[in-house]
Amino acid sequence: MIRPVCVRRWPAIVFFTAALAGSALFLSGCQPVQSRLSLRRIPPPPRVNSISSPPFSAPTVSLGPPAFPAVPKILPKPKILGAVYPGIIPLPSWMPEPWIRVRITQESSTPPYINPRLYRGNIRIVHLPDGRYAAINTLPIESYLAGVLSRELYRNWLPATYRAQAIAARTYALYQIETYGRTHAWDVTGGQNSQVYGGKGAETPRAWNAVRATNGEIMETRDRQEQGAFCAFYSACNGGASQSAAEAWGDPSVPPLVNRVFGTLDANCPEFTWPTMTLSLQQVSQAVNWWGQKNAIPYLAQLGPIVSVRITQRNPITRRPMIITLWDAAGHIGKMRAEEFRLALALDPMRTVPAPPSSFFAIRPDGHDIQLVNGHGFGHGIGLSQWGAEALAQRGWRGEAILHLYYPHSWIHKEW
């Protein structure tokens, strides 16, 4: 999922445009969390006497260029990542199984052709307000999930991992129906902006077993007087430490989506550590300026050639980068969240800028370049780590216990 390009997530067998455009509990009888294994740690003018004084000519004052846009104390959420929705969505204690609308094609100038036999439910071609078209698959949410799980997980991963993923994916989908879907022609996309969806061809017995075993089960949480579902983001691999959605891109803070240290729990992921990546300052300038223009952020869009890039704030618990500060040749300053920086590089329309797998890295200056060093993880690192979940399943953990670890302060509720 945001796989935000939502960036977005892997190991989906099919890639997070930004949604960007675009993600992710604790019953008795579960094996206890072994902390040793899983959590390491101008002034006024002069007065002139108009009678006695000679004629006064006001000096010519050069106003100079307009002031450079100031960086606000609290960075706004980028428009490309969507609206700021409530962190918690109240739900009735019971509801019938909802149907979900999945955009399965990109918007196009001509109506697309879709073979309806490849999908459950129904297919319709929507004529959008901008004159373009998109194909929408509408189907029951449980059938939708069966076409998601094997595209988000490896087919040979354990049933407990599948059950944990099913509940997280169902919670994410229901949250999108109740927020984004209320004002748009679809609820989710079929790619990594949301969750990767492959239709009937992606369904497997293991996926259907997990969907049926967890039918109607979602995660809920409570914060002050609010109780309900939250956006259960997840990613491939957090690289040893997760981050909150608030820190990543400015969403509301929610108790289950907190910063946690996980050590080497998902070390089996090939991108748990990734090699040094070199970017030219020209490439950084290109990506950052585009990001500022796309999101109407003037202090980024108006930066001149960037001469310095530094991490100026890290999370005190996980040491993941939070704020990246950029200086241009005229001394102007721009700031970005680390996750925004990653997405700006990954979504650059010229496709000439290297895209880091995650925002968990250090920055080392190198002349006219910068190097991203000590990189860890794949994706945004919020919520469940898919590789970490599989590692726990291999140790005998049940799906509910896995969710309890990755989404603390939440519980499982059967909604239909």
Place of tokens 């997530």: 9
- Does 407 fall in a domain? yes
Please give the DSSP secondary-structure letter assigned to residue 148. Answer: T
- Does 12 fall in a domain? no
Count of structural domains, the chain? 2
Q: Are residues 148 and 210 in the same domain?
A: yes
Q: Are residues 101 and 219 in the same domain?
A: yes
pTM of the model: 0.84
Q: CA 154, CA 142: separation in Å to the nearest integer?
A: 19
- Does 248 fall in a domain? no
Q: Are residues 227 and 86 in the same domain?
A: yes
Provide the residue range defining the domain that includes 397.
Answer: 78-235+382-414
- Does 50 fall in a domain? no
Q: Are residues 91 and 230 in the same domain?
A: yes
pLDDT tens, residue order, the chain (416 aa) = 544 444 344 444 333 333 333 433 333 333 333 333 333 333 443 333 333 334 444 455 555 567 899 999 999 999 999 999 999 999 999 999 999 999 999 999 999 999 999 999 999 999 999 999 999 999 999 999 999 999 999 999 999 999 999 999 999 999 999 999 999 999 999 998 899 999 999 999 999 999 999 999 999 999 988 999 999 999 999 999 999 999 999 999 999 999 999 999 999 999 999 999 999 999 999 999 999 999 999 999 999 999 999 999 999 999 999 999 999 999 999 999 999 999 999 999 988 999 999 999 999 999 999 999 999 999 999 999 999 999 999 999 999 999 999 999 999 999 99
Q: Are residues 228 and 99 in the same domain?
A: yes
CB-CB contact of 25 with 403 (8 Å): yes
Q: CA 267, CA 176: separation in Å to the nearest integer?
A: 31
- Does 141 fall in a domain? yes
Q: Are residues 405 and 371 in the same domain?
A: no
- Does 21 fall in a domain? no
Whole-number pLDDT of residue 37: 34
**Paired tokens of 67:** 């002031």
Please give the DSSP secondary-structure letter assigned to residue 251. Answer: P
Q: Are residues 301 and 362 in the same domain?
A: yes
Q: Are residues 387 and 357 in the same domain?
A: no
Q: Are residues 399 and 312 in the same domain?
A: no
Name the maximum alpha-carbon separation found in the chain: 100
Whole-number pLDDT of residue 6: 40
- Does 243 fall in a domain? no
Q: Which of 21, 26, 192, 5 is closest to 107 using CA atoms?
A: 21
- Does 117 fall in a domain? yes
Q: Are residues 115 and 173 in the same domain?
A: yes
